[in-house]
Structure 1
Amino acid sequence: MALDTVAIATANSETTQPFAELGLKPDEYARIKEILGRRPTSSELAMYSVMWSEHCSYKSSKVHLKQFGDKAVKTDALLVGIGENAGVVDVGQGYAVTFKIESHNHPSFIEPYQGAATGVGGIVRDILTMGARPIAVMDPLRFGPADHPDTRRVLPGVIAGVGGYGNCLGLPNIGGEVVFDQTYLGNPLVNALCVGVMKHSDIKLAKAAGAGNLVVLYGAKTGGDGIGGVSVLASETFESTGPAKRPAVQVGDPFVEKVLIECSLEIFAEDLVVGIQDLGGAGLSCATSELASGGSGGMKVELDRVPLRDATLSPEEILMSESQERMCAIVEPKHIDRFLEICKKWDVTVTVIGEVTDGDRLEITWHGDLIVDVPPRTVAHDGPVYNRPLAKPDYIDRVNAEVVDVALPSNGDEIKAAVLKLAATPNLADKSWVTSQYDRYVQGNTIQAQPDDSGMVRIDEKTHLGVAVATDANANWSYLNPYEGAKLALAEAARNIATAGAKPLAVTNCLNFGSPEDPGVMWQFAESVRGLADGCLEMGLPVTGGNVSFYNQTGAVAILPTPVIGVLGVIDDVRTRTPMSFDKAGLDLYLLGETKADIAGSEWAYIHGQRGGSAPIADLQREMRLIEVLVAGRTEKIFIAAHDLSQGGLSATLTEMVLRHNVGAKVTLENVGVALISETPGRVVVAVDPSQASALTALANKHSIAITKIGSTGGDALEINDAKISLTELRKAHTETFPKLFG
């Protein structure tokens, strides 16, 4: 079908098109003209600009992300892999679980509340589009220095947005992180994860199959908010004076989304859709082109049928709008009456805006004029692919050669001072000020949430089958060695699943980096992807999907490389999980794993202004043996409690364990400074009844895991060698930091 005379006039006009303002490079604009054999119409230009943005097209990361496929683990558990809205894994008993993590970093800096809220809403809809009921969310967060005025502007708004949206949806927030560093000052990281559950037969995909099937838009009306939002905003570097582009950040309404979820699940239950896609980044441009590209034919859409909140919107603005709480479904004509009936029942706005064709074009009209006539795959999937220059940054060899020179505690006074200092530092301090704003137990199936090592939810109330999820990233280690940093984050997330007794099953990721146009940043990214792909292959864990967030940079200052790794695990009976801490005296405490002098990249070094030395080398074979010990410790009923060691080392772990149930501990350590402060990976503190000592030793020896008895539980203090810290004093240090900082 040829373009009509009105559109031809637009397409062949000699007026300069604003491709650069829309984020397109001159060669990208030239390629669009080559694909179409003419100049694009303004509506086509709008679609290509948002879909070819870094955020939507992955144009700088595709060449590296292929490793997740090339090194993919072959497993029957993986039901849907990379390429769909979210990955899906088999967790047994006929259940499938879908989970994914995405970023909403740049919008959250501009407008913290709505940026974070709509980040939660977007990831929840990704899970919904797979046919699943969302059951839990998590939020790994990074901010600038805790005492900086702009952090005090951004953090409370982000926390309120995450909590406000998730709480209104009735979704428990079961985990996450709050980490501070100077490099995140102009670029906070707001990553959001969602988990959903369904039966195998309920899985839905994003495809527009079947000529004559109807294209149905339902949910909220389309407004002017978020025009070019994450698609453009997340695809450029902020200047030191502020972002050059300030498009409207999306505005969310969680009550509309809650109704949309229930309406969609009823539609899915009656099997009324052939394909489904949410409208997130790039809005209708994304939904129509991806559905058409994923199907077997073309698509015709009448854009003037789209219900609007603002009648003045132009076609280009409608196509680019990222208004929230919208879905696009492909429905057979025989099912449309029932589809409309269900939407009416839930009071959800619904409109048939087009149909699937047997052609190979995406055609969009506006009041009868053809304004878009494109091959859909060129918009959705065949965008530019860059193999950007990469080079090992100059700083790597320099900082790796540095000797970490920090005093370690040795006597009683120094031990006490160090433990209290670590307990109070913002990265390790009690986060109740944050988590109290989240509903962690709504729906009644939360088994554990913050501050546990992982979040856990029950998915079957009869068999008590459950899943555990953890997210982790140690950007200090990734800064020193991006390859090892990614592997270490993977290992920590898997270990956090296993401490509760769950078996790690699959991986998602959110890869947060600076500008891909900086060869040093691209090297960090490439090494991180290589590390994660190698690590997942070695551990036998499939990567089910994820997200790349580039341009987290203010002027020349990039964030620390921050690959956030999410691991999902399965537990056959949540009632048997291993708790994080002990609640009685008279138990023996053991350290599983060997401690080395790993101070580089540690919280202790960071507190003392040092970020040099060499990161630890991940030993994933040992990590897998440790996971076997942790899972067996639960199933064989050996453990009373288990808590992993990560940031803050043994000091932070003991602090969290004794404060959890206000039961003290007496610990004796050799080489106390290193033992207390080191962050050697692959270590866990376990509490056992003395009668289980031989069983624990036998289990550790069977799997070649070092084991050391370090003390016992009881009393009203944490005693370490000749230091005695009352739980009252320790709790005061641990809990006062956030209220003092944020009110």
Structure 2
Amino acid sequence: MNVDTVARAAQTPDEPMPHVELGMKDDEYQRVKEILGRRPTSSELAIYSVMWSEHCSYKSSKVHLRQFGTKAPKSDALLVGMGENAGVVDIGDGWAATFKIESHNHPSYVEPHQGAATGVGGIVRDIMSMGARPVAVMDSLRFGAIDAPDTRRVLPGVVEGISSYGNCLGLPNIGGEVAFDDCYIGNPLVNALCVGLLRKDQIKLATAPGPGNKVVLFGALTGPDGIGGASVLASATFEEESHAKRPSVQVGDPFMEKLLIECCLELFAADVVVGIQDLGAAGVSCATTELAAKGTGGMDVRLDLVPLRDPTLRPEEILMSESQERMMAVVTPEDIPAFMAICEKWDIPATVIGEVTDTGRLVMTWHGETIVDIPPGTAADEGPVYERPYHEPAGQAALNSDDPAALDRPSGPEELRATLLKVLGSPNIASKEWVTGQYDRYVRGNTVLAQPADAGVLRVGEAMPGATETNRGIALATDGNGRYARLDPYAGAQLALSESYRNVAVTGARPLAVTNCLNFGSPEDPEVMWQFAEAVRGLADACKALGVPVTGGNVSFYNQTGTVAINPTPVVGVLGVLDDVRRRVPSGFTGEGHRVILLGETADEFGGSAWAQVAHGHLGGLPPQVRLDAERALAGVLAEASARGLLTGSHDVSDGGLAVALAEACLARGVGCAVTLPGEDPFVDMFSESTARALVTVSAETYDAFAALCATSEVACTTLGTTTGDAMLTIDGLAPIPVEELRETYEATLPAIFG
């Protein structure tokens, strides 16, 4: 095979290179030539093109993302922050949790099953590379209108891909979201989260220190699937002809990944790994440049030693391949025999392909010929940084002035009752059991709460065989509302954080840290860039106010079909800790005779609301007011009440308002309630989406102590009524609704479309 060597590149400076075809701008290509002092070889061009892609380099978002660092609140719990494969937080008793969320949007549109499956596989490997055992996954999904042909094609494949990969790995899927909106037709969002557990003194990092240490590639063989996959698909405007990019979608093998997990854990336990990196987007290009850049600065690699599934692959293709289930480790020479023996035990192919150096150069050879000779940091850390122009969208003021207060509102008991059922059965509110029922929520036996609870909760105590037992638990939630963010991206990002923070809090957990997946249209569109800049600013400000640092995440740009961008959709994941998981608060109503209490205050707020969308197809006005101080006070009450055993049940109040919260609380266990609305306007009481509110139940014996706690914390506490044994939702002034009727309405929507 004829290859483009460094010597040949120096002798042919004017030979044209396909940089444009690889997504590289002319000025970026010129900068590469300046760095190298010559034209790049085809292999070097492959490295720079994928490493400088939007997906890998964050070149349009870096200038804004820095706020997550400059505004970061002080956190004693934060052990590893942004810049590594995943963040790590101290959860007590010597334990740490690592978690992260990432997107696999465009691959999931092109090939739904494999795109979603490999999204799960990729985020799991990020968690593995921190030295942790992955213990659970979550997913945040958005599709076009529920009855659109595109949705009927994409959604079943995405759900099947998530289910098959996660179930085969033996990881419970404990939560997430499924939402529908016309703006996602042709561009679904598939955001996958994974959480892992490890001892706090066993964290691994992506670094290659120590000249003479060996570089080992282990896991699946490298093939042609996914060449330029995530880095290419996620770094360009998405058109209908993207179906032609089907070969760019990675193909996953969850059984190999399961072996890889167990192999890595044994390698970590044997202490034979100096540094480790997963191979995700940009494959070998990313792993080698990032490890070398964070180590002693250099690495020599024999690319012809990479084990191939297809022997016809050229060096450039090997470098760009995103074949799944692969890892790269740095190992001392004396530990190589033990490392290889463990890999052989788990039937994991492993090959020494290089060596760490202190030359400051990443040098790769192909059958003795040098084909790459670059400073690794220039590819990994010194890509282009753009300060994209941005301005408020032309129609933003008109959108915000279109106040939903002008819409016709239901009046009278019959209309209110009918509206409740209509909202409850709408696609974004209705049961997602058709989706979540395909996931194993309880495998491994440590799941305490899972869908449809507000947050997933896991028991830590039995996560690692042989580890000291603990009663600690962790809670996780993801949330986002593109409608809110379209109305006000600054507030919309804060509202996403508020809801996720609140969902963790209603379990009794103390929110600790944040990960995020920021889904937007093209950064080259100044209106989209304004939405992004405002969302990042809003999220950074809110994290500071709530005292929860951002530990890492993902930016997904170019989420648009042609010139039509999706609604700005920042998805925020929050992780919290329970000192004693046995004290977690169950979701919904748990028995009769309990006092039903609304925490927080309700205002007339319907911008971006479920009611406005369902009843009128309306999007306009302003989203609900952000109340960060109230959210923090509410979370404090819920955590203290949980620790003291004062609560018998809880549910957050968000989409669809109090009416939906009451209905879902009844549906949790078939327990009814009889309540009186507290305000003067039943419609506002039932459907407003005011923030910093939760629905809780307490026993008669604990009511006084709980009311006193709320008073001390200055959290409004309004008793609405009691739970009942008649399996009826009874709101004073409305005809009672049998829980069975609620269930029929709630559970019929998705099966009616998807079978």
Smaller-chain TM-score bracket: over 0.9
Query: Secondary structure of the equivalent of 2:508?
Result: coil
- Between stretches 468-477 and 250-259, larger displacement belongs to 468-477
1:608-619 equivalent positions in 2, closer than 5 A:
608-619=616-627
C-alpha offsets along residues 577-625 of structure 1, whole Å, 9 cap, x if unaligned? 1111122211111110111011111011111211000122312111111
Query: Secondary structure of the equivalent of 2:629?
Result: helix
Query: Secondary structure of the equivalent of 1:736?
Result: helix
In the other structure, the counterpart of 2:700 is 690
In the other structure, the counterpart of 1:579 is 586
| Pair 1:717–1:62, CA change in 2 (3 A) | same
| Pair 1:64–1:262, CA change in 2 (3 A) | same
1:296-695 equivalent positions in 2, closer than 5 A:
296-404=296-404, 405-461=406-462, 462-607=469-614, 608-669=616-677, 670=679, 671-695=681-705
Letter paired with 2:472: L
Note the C-alpha offset of 1:636.
Answer: 1.9
In the other structure, the counterpart of 2:729 is 718
- Aligned pair 1:147/2:158, yes or no? no
Say whether the 8 Å CA contact 2:4–2:41 is kept in structure 1: no
Letter paired with 2:711: N
Say whether the 8 Å CA contact 1:422–1:651 is kept in structure 2: no
Q: Distance in 2 between matches of 1:668 and 1:200?
A: 49
TM-score, normalised by the number of residues in structure 1: 0.98
Q: Distance in 1 between matches of 2:476 and 2:116?
A: 20
C-alpha offsets along residues 9-45 of structure 1, whole Å, 9 cap, x if unaligned? 2454343211000000000000000100000000000
- Between stretches 241-250 and 389-398, larger displacement belongs to 241-250
Say whether the 8 Å CA contact 2:217–2:351 is kept in structure 1: yes
Q: Distance in 2 between matches of 1:240 and 1:164?
A: 27
RMSD (Å) for aligned C-alpha atoms: 1.2
In the other structure, the counterpart of 2:466 is none
Q: Distance in 1 between matches of 2:180 and 2:61?
A: 26
C-alpha offsets along residues 467-520 of structure 1, whole Å, 9 cap, x if unaligned? 000111111111111111111111111111110100000110000000000001
Query: Secondary structure of the equivalent of 1:679?
Result: coil
Say whether the 8 Å CA contact 1:136–1:171 is kept in structure 2: yes
Letter paired with 2:424: A
Note the C-alpha offset of 1:8.
Answer: 2.4
Query: Secondary structure of the equivalent of 1:643?
Result: strand
Letter paired with 2:650: A
1:186-197 equivalent positions in 2, closer than 5 A:
186-197=186-197
In the other structure, the counterpart of 2:465 is none
C-alpha offsets along residues 666-722 of structure 1, whole Å, 9 cap, x if unaligned? 121131101111100111011111233222221111111112111211112111122
Q: Distance in 1 between matches of 2:538 and 2:600?
A: 22
Letter paired with 2:415: E
Q: Distance in 2 between matches of 1:601 and 1:732?
A: 26
Query: Secondary structure of the equivalent of 2:736?
Result: strand
- Between stretches 483-492 and 720-729, larger displacement belongs to 720-729
Query: Secondary structure of the equivalent of 1:586?
Result: coil
- Between stretches 425-434 and 246-255, larger displacement belongs to 246-255
Say whether the 8 Å CA contact 1:103–1:510 is kept in structure 2: yes
- Between stretches 646-655 and 456-465, larger displacement belongs to 456-465
Say whether the 8 Å CA contact 1:127–1:194 is kept in structure 2: yes
TM-score, normalised by the number of residues in structure 2: 0.97
Note the C-alpha offset of 1:225.
Answer: 0.4
Letter paired with 1:401: S
| Pair 1:619–1:5, CA change in 2 (3 A) | closer
Query: Secondary structure of the equivalent of 1:373?
Result: strand
Say whether the 8 Å CA contact 1:282–1:322 is kept in structure 2: yes
Q: Distance in 1 between matches of 2:455 and 2:508?
A: 11
Letter paired with 1:665: C
1:41-440 equivalent positions in 2, closer than 5 A:
41-239=41-239, 242=242, 245-404=245-404, 405-440=406-441
Q: Distance in 2 between matches of 1:131 and 1:716?
A: 48
Q: Distance in 1 between matches of 2:326 and 2:201?
A: 24
Q: Distance in 2 between matches of 1:242 and 1:166?
A: 27
C-alpha offsets along residues 114-139 of structure 1, whole Å, 9 cap, x if unaligned? 00000000000000000000000000
Letter paired with 2:361: R
| Pair 1:183–1:471, CA change in 2 (3 A) | same
Q: Distance in 1 between matches of 2:509 and 2:692?
A: 16
| Pair 1:340–1:598, CA change in 2 (3 A) | same
Unaligned segments of structure 2, at least 5 residues: 463-468
Query: Secondary structure of the equivalent of 1:304?
Result: helix
Q: Distance in 1 between matches of 2:389 and 2:30?
A: 22
Say whether the 8 Å CA contact 1:408–1:674 is kept in structure 2: no
C-alpha offsets along residues 510-531 of structure 1, whole Å, 9 cap, x if unaligned? 0000000000111100011001
Return structure 1 stretches of 4+ with deviation > 6 angstroms.
none
Letter paired with 1:85: N
Say whether the 8 Å CA contact 1:650–1:675 is kept in structure 2: yes
Q: Distance in 2 between matches of 1:591 and 1:326?
A: 50
Query: Secondary structure of the equivalent of 1:19?
Result: coil
Query: Secondary structure of the equivalent of 1:590?
Result: strand
Q: Distance in 2 between matches of 1:421 and 1:502?
A: 33
Say whether the 8 Å CA contact 1:12–1:39 is kept in structure 2: no
Q: Distance in 1 between matches of 2:411 and 2:652?
A: 24
Letter paired with 2:454: D
Q: Distance in 1 between matches of 2:330 and 2:743?
A: 55
Note the C-alpha offset of 1:310.
Answer: 0.4
Q: Distance in 2 between matches of 1:91 and 1:718?
A: 39
Note the C-alpha offset of 1:288.
Answer: 0.3
Note the C-alpha offset of 1:241.
Answer: 5.4
Letter paired with 1:342: I
Say whether the 8 Å CA contact 1:210–1:297 is kept in structure 2: no
Q: Distance in 1 between matches of 2:390 and 2:534?
A: 10
Query: Secondary structure of the equivalent of 1:691?
Result: coil
Say whether the 8 Å CA contact 2:273–2:331 is kept in structure 1: yes
Residue in structure 1 matching 2:745, options 718, 728, 733: 733
Query: Secondary structure of the equivalent of 1:392?
Result: coil
Q: Distance in 2 between matches of 1:370 and 1:379?
A: 18
- Between stretches 634-643 and 236-245, larger displacement belongs to 236-245
Query: Secondary structure of the equivalent of 2:323?
Result: coil
| Pair 1:233–1:481, CA change in 2 (3 A) | same
